[in-house]
């Protein structure tokens, strides 16, 4: 315990003094987390709504696939993305191997299953008569989707929280596709790994860890407040 306390005391001045390295890694982490979560939301939300509302053949299989994707090993995703973007890979012309852009791609893929699977589950958990009544009142496809998202708001924001949490704390994919290059594409989580493995620089590792925990607490707290707020969209349906 004395050793742990000593490292904590050594880490606090690094944070309080606005250490340039920690600030730079924090900014990269925020960019990666926000971008990948936003991209996953844009791509995954329509898919999740389609699975949740759809009446098509193969819907259950798609939902099973989405749920199974929640267990995607990050290192496998990182390896797959790296093999695609290397110069000899299918996407080698993009020239993004070992860059922050490759990290964006990998983190978006890892965040996507949370948006799709949890959104679909939240919509499927709505009272059965709610959407049927909206259809009878003449709700169009877009109105029905908006209604489902409003009523399933708590579950949808939970999906965003899970996706953002995965983006903030992921290490394996970041290290593989980005190379964990200091002052370039390191995130807070991958920086902790480097400080421990390469330098045994425990004060920096502890300081970065504290910043990461604080960042997670702040961002998750904001999303939780939004999740619990009442109100939402008010829709009018055309008469049939």
Q: Which CATH class is domain 2-228?
A: mainly alpha
Residue located via tokens 């904590």: 8
* pLDDT reading at 199 higher than 80: no
Number of helical (H) and strand (E) elements in the chain, helices listed first: 11, 0
Residues 6+ apart with CB under 8 A from 5: none
* pLDDT reading at 125 higher than 50: yes
Distance between CA atoms of residues 169 and 163, nearest Å: 10
Quick one: average pLDDT of 212-238?
Answer: 77
Residue located via tokens 């300081």: 207
* pLDDT reading at 8 higher than 90: no
Instruction: Give the start-to-end residue ranges of the domains of the chain.
Output: 2-228
Q: How far is CA 156 from CA 12, 48, 144, 177, 196, in A?
A: 37, 10, 15, 29, 36
The model's pLDDT over 146-171, given as tens digits with 9 standing for 90+, comes to 888 888 899 999 999 999 999 999 99
Percent of the chain surpassing pLDDT 90: 62
The predicted model scores a pTM of: 0.87
Distance between CA atoms of residues 115 and 14, nearest Å: 36
CA diameter of the chain? 74
């Amino acid at each position: 315990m004395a050793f742990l306390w000593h490292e904590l005391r050594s880490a606090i001045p690094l944070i309080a003094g606005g250490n340039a390295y920690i600030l730079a890694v924090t900014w990269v982490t925020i960019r990666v987390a926000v971008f990948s979560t936003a991209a996953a939301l844009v791509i995954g939300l329509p898919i999740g709504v389609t699975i949740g509302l759809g009446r098509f053949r193969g819907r259950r299989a798609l939902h099973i696939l989405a749920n199974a994707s929640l267990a995607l090993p990050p290192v496998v995703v990182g390896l797959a993305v790296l093999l695609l973007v290397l110069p000899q890979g299918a996407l080698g012309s993009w020239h993004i191997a070992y860059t922050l852009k490759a990290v964006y791609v990998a983190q978006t893929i890892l965040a996507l299953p949370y948006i799709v699977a949890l959104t679909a589950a939240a919509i499927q958990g709505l009272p059965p008569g709610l959407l049927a009544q909206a259809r009878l009142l003449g709700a169009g496809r877009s109105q029905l989707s908006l209604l489902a998202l409003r009523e399933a708001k708590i579950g949808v924001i939970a999906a965003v929280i899970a996706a953002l949490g995965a983006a903030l704390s992921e290490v394996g994919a970041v290290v593989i596709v980005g190379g964990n290059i200091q002052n370039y594409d390191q995130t807070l989580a991958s920086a902790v790994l480097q400080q421990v493995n390469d330098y045994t620089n425990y004060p920096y590792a502890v300081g970065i860890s504290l910043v990461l925990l604080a960042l997670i607490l702040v961002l998750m707290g904001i999303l939780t407040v939004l999740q619990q707020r009442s109100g939402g969209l008010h829709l009018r349906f055309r008469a049939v």
